[in-house]
Amino acid sequence: MLAVLAPGQGAQKPGFLTPWLDIAGVDARLRWWSTLSGVDLRYLGTDADAEEIKDTAKTQPLLVAAALLTAEQLRMDDVAVVAGHSVGELAAAALSGALTTDAAVTLAGVRGREMAAACAATPTGMTAVLGGVPEQVLARLAELGLDAANVNGAGQIVAAGPVPALAALEADPPQRARVKRLPVAGAFHTRFMAPAEEALCSHAADLVPSDPRQPLLSNADGAVVTDGAEFLRRLIAQVSRPVRWDECMNGLAAAGVTAVLELPPAGTLVGLVKRNMKGTATLALNTPEDLDAAVELIHEHSGAD
């Protein structure tokens, strides 16, 4: 059984969409989605530098568009399970048919702009805590008034909150843990994103989601959501609630997933799967040269028990 995963913010790399422009229709697709999202996706995916694609308002629609345009080169009907990390959930929703691709890219543009605005209101950020004893890590975060915004498995918890508290965490981390400040604009998936959640709720009032065609996992708890309206509610609430990617991987294992394909810009989620789901076949799809291997993986694992 095959799962397709869509990565979240932080996975982007300068120029990662450049080789995909040689495929017929990709350039036109990016130009149309640029109109819908309000940002120049073609430029951002090809010529923009690392600093520019760190901008939340630009990165989020870029990542959703990248996942969707590359998935269009594959037979997604043969995919058994879909999931996405953070903003990648929007791409996953479209891959499953819960949202149209146009609606997902448009919503990603709104999400990015509103989360960027929320970041500007208070100086906040995110720091990855790698290793350590989970209970001790969570206790240290609570002591500093920080939130566990992402619980990613493989001994990785992402702390989020005010910049001074993150500095204190980095100066005195939990025992046997390493810390690394992340290149993001603010405390995503925490109470600081409440204004963005309100704005998304207003925008999504006009959307009419469909029930997913394939099992669609939720970042909230790793559960399979079969109702499109319920998944949309979860998507909106997700911006101010933790990402439980550890539970998503538990959900993949419980579903009997034997192989994982990560859409561009790929690598992060495949790495987590390798450490948490031993023996699972994985493929990071990053360029058109990887498509043959992706098609072979889909064929080998479609319908597998």
- Kindly report the backbone phi and psi dihedral angles of residue 161, in degrees, each rounded to the nearest multiple of 5, phi listed first: 155, -160
Question: How large is the greatest C-alpha to C-alpha distance in the chain, in angstroms?
Answer: 54
Is 54 in contact with 183 (CB distance < 8 Å)? Answer: yes
Known active-site residue 96: no
Q: Is the peptide bond before 264 cis (omega within 30 degrees of 0)?
A: no
Known active-site residue 86: yes
Token duo for residue 199: 């704005």
CA distance 56 to 54: 6
Token duo for residue 179: 């810390």
**163-242-209 Cα angle (round to 5):** 130
CA 147 to chain centre: 19
Q: Determine how many CB atoms are found less than 10 A away from the CB of residue 252.
A: 25
Dihedral, CA of residue 43, residue 75, residue 105 and residue 159, to nearest 10: -90
- Kindly report the backbone phi and psi dihedral angles of residue 296, in degrees, each rounded to the nearest multiple of 5, phi listed first: -65, -45
Nearest one of 206, 242, 211 to 229, comparing CA atoms: 211
Of the residues 37, 189, 240, 301, only one is catalytic, namely 189
Of the residues 86, 96, 218, 240, only one is catalytic, namely 86
Residues forming the active site:
86, 189
